Amino acid sequence: MTTLCRPAIAVPEHIITLEETLELARSLHAGHEQLGLVLRLIENTGVRTRHLVQPIDATLRHPGFEKRNALYTAEAKERVPEVVRRALDHGEVTAEEIDLLIYVSCTGFMMPSMTAWMINELGFRTDTRQLPIAQLGCAAGGAAINRAHDFCRAYPDANVLIVACEFCSLCYQPTDLGVGSLLSNGLFGDAIAAAVVRGKGGHGVWLERNGSHLVSDTEDWISYAVRDTGFHFLLDKRVPGTMEMLAPALRTLAEQHRWDVTDLDFYIVHAGGPRILDDLSQFLSLSPETFRFSRATLTERGNIASAVVFDALDRLFDEGKVPAPGTGLIAGFGPGITAEMVLGRWTAASPDHSASHDAVRFSPIGRPPPDTLGGPVDGSAAAPAR
């Protein structure tokens, strides 16, 4: 049985709070004719804190796409190795036992992919397969889990490592003044996540069935415009209403597996914003408490793009209240409009990894400060666009 093991999560050391975000919006956009609306929208996201790879004053400066992308590369190489080490530990495998590397990111570009660097620097075999996923946005976390599941079904003895590295703050565009862009500046945060998927063995979520769904004619609802200054995030005002279109796809996948989507033991879904979670509760006839893990991620870290599903899943491990073999759903939503969904069963966590593992907060040189290892991390703050 293919098993998704406990993720490892890391967030950068620079924090911005909701109050600081609102004050910045007031000072930077004092003359904006829709400032009142923007402030209300940011406040209504429920995001209290976010983490950034740079201090806010550096985040607000735009040195050009070349320097931004170079910073993305440097930060990824500095921060990814520690997260990978912990994910391998949770999966009870070594780098040499990994057969496929999936690297997910929509906030920076590298060619060769980060997967090539990881193989050269982190002890993976030179015949390790590589799968970079760059253009599925927030849905890519779910897509990575599904492609790992497919791979392990084809190669039952295989092991896969997924790495999601999202530095949304490096996509901040000071000249983008539309309401959607300004809202994004108060919604997105930075994070790295990694998780092992094993064809045999391991502890976590047994993956049973996966599926994808694209809502027709919604390609321009979530998109990037690629310009001289880099990635410009475009968010249509219709996006918050997409759960009415996607909830039936979740229901259908469960029915195909002879499960009832309204009667599962756990739900891990992408926290794009509070409206997404509220609507999903309504259209699936579920209590708002059902999505508590995703809500906690949104509140403490903001929308961390493809890393959301892993952060929320880590919170499920922390709580440890789902009885084995409890049934559950994991789903990522993103551009397309696309849903990537997987059904699975909770298994007993490994005794070696059942204790709480909060996200490591990195020091400026990329090493976790001693006082945050295994202890709670306050907050998670603000980063502009993804």
Active-site residues, by number, are 138
Q: How far apart are CA 220 and CA 113, in angstroms?
A: 27
Whether a cis peptide bond, with omega within 30° of 0, leads into 112 is: yes
Burial class (CB in 10 A: 0-12, 13-18, 19+), 207: buried
Q: How far apart are CA 294 and CA 307, in angstroms?
A: 11
Contact 2, 153 (CB under 8 A): yes
| End-to-end Cα distance, the chain | 35
At 313, which amino acid appears? L
Q: How far apart are CA 179 and CA 182, in angstroms?
A: 5
Rg (CA), the chain: 19
Give Cα 79 distance to the centre of its chain.
16
Reference 334, options 312, 303, 313; nearest CA is 303
Q: How far apart are CA 33 and CA 161, in angstroms?
A: 47
